[in-house]
């Protein structure tokens, strides 16, 4: 590996997934992992195995299936957690144990109730224990940027001496600013010369909107691994956004002469997939992947005011994989064309799944004149990712208008049993939600409901995002359909499935990680 190669450590499935309402099921995590592999990330942090049975199973499955990336499992600096993490990742290719403990005074005093010397002993013992399993051991000082610098240096020194091969310096609370972070990393490298022999990593949170800037600064100070998430998901304001980091490096090679292994054309498909499986919509003005990130294309440019693209464009939408809205398939497209298109998206379906998807496509092509890439992707991920859901929608019918009371009837499969229910409501969506509530016996609070269009035109598919809450557990769901009431029903059912998954796999700890 050349000195200027930056490893991308993706923690969408751990830090991202831990954020309230961003929970994913095991099938969803696996699907995202396949896409992350295609995107070219170096390390996938697949979860925190000791935190719940669901996390353990997900990490284990991902380690078994994904062979193009290192798979990391997070664990606290105790033997039980480390053993559990190893048990989950050990079948992976070059599996990694990522262990951590807090080092700042505020955490030592209020959370750990330990002295600095006790913490140093724990670090040494934990890293040595992890190294019995593998040499691929990462150690993180949680809340490093609020840790007294001399103690941070001692902690890092002990971890390196105990055998850690990656040292991660997290800005856990998103508090540092670039010049300060530079000084911290410079001081560390000066006082712990052995750091030259390991990979220095950073993990920045975005509470002040500085996560990407801090991460880029760290690379200039010698960091060769960046921890980040797709769409910047993560605790509170999220983590450094993968797409922003990668494009900042790629577009500004003059200032950032580094390389990553990321296939930038896979950025947008990955962003869409993560938005779909988490149910978290991407804000329109989000850099790189937001709906307006390249919006000048359509407006000024098409007016012919601009003759030269580069007037306003520092990168092209094609570079990040944004489809050019080309019509790809229509009513008369056959199985073969559809299959080819799916494989271009990276979906290799089993024959039964393919038939279901193809039927869905035919239905859509009957309703819509043009079928766009985004439509296909919305359709397929519904069929492919959600096929093992507990609550499944078979059909939804409703009627409403200015002179009648809205009513909805839903037919669903719950587990193995088919159920039908009808309800009246204030509007068709309300009626559909009440009918779903009656069929499933679930009635969480609906916290938010957002509708948007996937593509242009009045025949566009509507995309609905909902957020529900029950006893403090939050989940988000997403659904797409040419009929927004059906899209709404699908989004609600998706959120109910996630809420159910969360309830079945309760977290065993309040510890969140770095």
Contact residues for Zn ion (CB under 5 A)? 15, 514
Q: How far apart are the first and last CA of the chain?
A: 27
Quote the least distance from Cβ 43 to Zn ion, whole Å.
Answer: 15
- Which residue number, 10 or 27, has a Cβ lying nearer to Zn ion? 10
Could you tell me whether strands 404-414 and 417-424 are parallel, antiparallel, or unpaired per DSSP bridges? antiparallel
Q: Which residue is nearest to Zn ion (CB)?
A: 15
Nearer to Zn ion, 173 or 413 (CB): 173
Nearest-5° angle of CA 450, CA 451, CA 453?
145
Beta carbon of residue 175, minimum distance to Zn ion (angstroms, whole number): 13
Burial class (CB in 10 A: 0-12, 13-18, 19+), 398: buried
With vertex at residue 341, the alpha carbon angle to CA 326 and CA 487, rounded to the nearest 5 degrees, is 75
Structure tokens at 174: 């998103």
Residue 230 or 514: the one with the smaller Cβ distance to Zn ion is: 514
| Tokens standing for residue 167 | 């040292």
Question: How far apart (Å, rounded) are the C-alpha atoms in residues 318 and 299?
Answer: 18
Tell me how far, at minimum, the Cβ of 178 lies from Zn ion, in Å: 18
| Residue closer to Zn ion, measured from CB, 157 or 171 | 171
CB of 44 to Zn ion, least distance (A): 15
Strand 225-228 and strand 199-204: pairing?
Answer: parallel
Q: Which is nearer to Zn ion, 85 or 385 (CB)?
A: 85
Q: How many CB atoms lie within 10 A of CB 229?
A: 28
Q: Which is nearer to Zn ion, 159 or 240 (CB)?
A: 240
How far apart are CB 11 and Zn ion at their closest, in Å?
Answer: 7
Among residues 47 and 444, whose Cβ is nearest to Zn ion? 47
Q: At what angle do helices 211-220 and 242-251 cross, to 10 degrees?
A: 50
Closest contact distance (angstroms) between CB of 209 and Zn ion is 16
* Nearest by Cα to 199 from 211, 213, 189: 189
**452 CB contacts (<8 Å, ≥6 apart)?**
281, 462, 463, 465
Q: Tell me, letter by letter, the H, E, C secondary structure of 111-176.
A: HHCCCHHHHHHHHHHHHHHHHCCCCCEEEEEECHHHCCHHHHHHHHHHHHHHCCCEEEEEECCCCC
User: What whole-number distance in Å separates Cα of residue 163 and Cα of residue 308?
Assistant: 54
| Of residues 239 and 494, the one with the C-beta less far from Zn ion | 239
Query: 80 — phi, psi (to 5°)?
Result: -60, -45
For Zn ion, the closer CB: 202 or 474: 202
Residue 173 CB, nearest distance to Zn ion (Å)? 9
In the complex, the smallest distance separating the C-beta of residue 141 from Zn ion, rounded to whole angstroms, is 12
Minimum CB separation of residue 20 from Zn ion in Å reads 14
């Amino acid at each position: 590996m050349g000195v200027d190669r930056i490893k991308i450590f993706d923690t969408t499935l751990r830090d991202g997934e831990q954020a309230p309402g961003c929970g994913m099921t095991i099938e969803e995590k696996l699907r995202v992992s396949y896409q992350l592999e295609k995107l070219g990330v170096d390390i996938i942090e697949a979860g925190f195995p000791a935190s719940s049975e669901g996390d353990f199973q997900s990490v284990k499955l991902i380690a078994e299936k994904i062979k193009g990336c290192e798979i990391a499992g997070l664990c606290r600096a105790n033997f039980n957690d480390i053993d559990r993490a190893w048990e989950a990742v050990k079948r992976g290719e070059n599996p990694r144990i990522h262990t951590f403990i807090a080092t700042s005074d505020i955490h030592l005093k209020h959370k750990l109730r330990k002295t600095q010397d006790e913490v140093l002993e724990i670090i040494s013992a934990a890293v040595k224990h992890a190294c019995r399993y593998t040499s691929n051991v990462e150690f993180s000082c949680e809340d490093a940027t609020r840790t007294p610098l001399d103690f941070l240096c001692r902690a890092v020194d002990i971890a390196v001496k105990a055998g850690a091969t990656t040292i991660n310096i997290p800005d856990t609370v998103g508090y540092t600013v670039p010049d300060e972070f530079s000084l911290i990393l410079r001081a560390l490298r000066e006082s712990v010369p052995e750091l030259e022999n390991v990979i220095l990593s950073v993990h920045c949170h975005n509470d002040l909107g500085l996560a990407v800037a801090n991460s880029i600064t760290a690379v200039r100070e010698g960091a060769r691994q960046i921890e980040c998430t797709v769409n910047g998901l993560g605790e509170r304001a999220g983590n450094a956004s993968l797409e922003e980091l990668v494009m900042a490096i790629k577009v500004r090679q003059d200032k950032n002469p580094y390389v990553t292994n990321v296939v930038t054309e896979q950025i947008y498909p990955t962003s869409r997939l993560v938005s779909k499986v988490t149910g978290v919509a991407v804000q329109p003005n989000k850099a790189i992947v937001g709906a307006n990130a390249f919006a000048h294309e359509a407006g000024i440019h098409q007016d012919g005011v601009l003759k030269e693209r580069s007037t306003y464009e520092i990168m092209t939408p094609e570079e990040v994989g944004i489809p050019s809205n080309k019509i790809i398939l229509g009513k008369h497209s056959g199985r073969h064309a559809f299959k080819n298109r799916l494989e271009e998206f990276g979906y290799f379906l089993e024959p039964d799944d393919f038939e279901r998807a193809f039927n869905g496509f035919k239905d859509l092509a009957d309703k819509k004149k043009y079928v766009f890439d985004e439509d296909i992707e919305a359709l397929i991920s519904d069929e492919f990712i959600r096929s093992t859901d507990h609550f499944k929608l078979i059909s939804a019918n409703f009627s409403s208008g200015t002179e009648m009371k809205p009513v909805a009837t839903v037919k669903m499969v719950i587990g193995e049993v088919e159920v039908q229910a009808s309800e009246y409501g204030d509007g068709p969506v309300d009626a559909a939600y009440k009918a779903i509530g009656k069929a499933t016996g679930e009635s969480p609070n609906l916290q938010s409901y957002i509708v948007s269009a996937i593509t242009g035109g009045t025949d566009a598919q509507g995309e609905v995002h909902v957020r529900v809450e029950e006893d403090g557990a939050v989940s988000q769901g997403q659904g797409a359909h040419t009929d927004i009431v059906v899209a709404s029903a699908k989004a609600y059912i998706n959120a109910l499935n996630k809420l159910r998954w969360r309830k079945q796999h309760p977290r065993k700890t309040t510890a969140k990680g770095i």
